[in-house]
Amino acid sequence: MSEIDQYAVIGHPIEHSKSPRIHAAFAKATSQRMSYEALLAPLDGLEKTWVELRARGGRGANITVPFKQEALALCDQLSERAQQAGAVNTLSVMSDGQVRGDNTDGAGLVRDIAENAGWSLAGQRVLLLGAGGAAAGVVGPLLAAGVAHLCIANRTLAKADRLALAFAGLGSMSTVANSELERANDSVSYDVIINATSASLQGKTIALHDSWYRASSAVYDMMYGFDTVFLAWAREQNISRRRDGLGMLVEQAAEAFYLWRGVRPETQSLLASLRAELS
């Protein structure tokens, strides 16, 4: 077994991941003796990849697309966040050898919006675009942040309904089909709009009637590293508060690092460095 604690991010694909760079910076800044690598798992090989990592000293792993829901089966225990989301993005080997699953995506999003961007969430009306795994990971933390109302929009309304039902009783929520977003909204417009869909990766945007937002609304795209079509659309609507998901990536990693090492790394200098590289 290695004397250095081993960590990794497991996904498919994985070559684009910035997680090794991020965690190496965290480890250096906090004087942690550990290593972190990117592991490409076959689409049917998540468990095998995780077992092999543990066999050589693995103490934890980040799980990314497309394995976050499958990772639930690797866990002996789950955090409340992972239970709510129905997905795991962080595996930790506990002192008794049991594996604990957590989901740090929502904490990363909320911290980036509220602290890094300085946008208020408490008392705000939030429109969440998408009802897949990315959306599921952030609903609980958004409600916990005190939003006044959360509306989940999805191409398939039934999927949005199922997601909202999983969080019933935790806050004011509603659902809507994407097709309705193109029509006039009779209710109050939204203060914060978050894109949790893969539309930006596909070069697509989601049409929104101008009654759903205001120029003072804040628009957030979980995708990062380029001026996404969704953010470009927001700019065309003269919406000045726009942000990509790079900060969410860094902050969710910091939350995972804290779970593993008991130390919360400073994120601002690394985020600024990554932002400069990408620009």
- Read off φ and ψ for residue 235, nearest 5 degrees: -65, -40
Q: Does 133 appear as a known binding residue?
A: yes
User: Is the confidence at residue 2, as pLDDT, over 80?
Assistant: no
Q: Does 130 appear as a known binding residue?
A: yes
Q: Does 156 appear as a known binding residue?
A: yes
Q: Does 272 appear as a known binding residue?
A: no
**Quick check: is 68 catalytic?**
yes
- The average pLDDT across 238-264 equals 97
Domain boundaries defined on the chain? 5-103, 106-246
Lowest mean pLDDT among 174-183, 203-212, 215-224: 203-212
Q: Does 258 appear as a known binding residue?
A: no
Structural domain 5-103, CATH architecture: 3-Layer(aba) Sandwich (3.40)
Residues 6+ apart with CB under 8 A from 53: 6, 8, 10, 39, 61
pLDDT of residue 263: 98
Structural domain 106-246, CATH architecture: 3-Layer(aba) Sandwich (3.40)
- The average pLDDT across 24-52 equals 98
Q: Does 18 appear as a known binding residue?
A: yes
How long a stretch of residues is the chain?
A: 279
Q: Does 196 appear as a known binding residue?
A: no
The CA-based angle 71-127-253, given to 5 degrees, is 40
What are the structure tokens assigned to 172, written together?
């004011």
User: Is the confidence at residue 1, as pLDDT, over 90?
Assistant: no
pLDDT of residue 3: 79
User: Tens of pLDDT along 113-161?
Assistant: 999 999 999 999 999 999 988 899 999 999 999 999 999 999 999 999 9
Q: Does 241 appear as a known binding residue?
A: no
Per annotation, catalytic residue among 28, 48, 68, 204: 68
Cα of first residue to Cα of last residue in the chain, in angstroms, is 41
pTM (predicted TM-score) = 0.94
Q: Does 228 appear as a known binding residue?
A: no
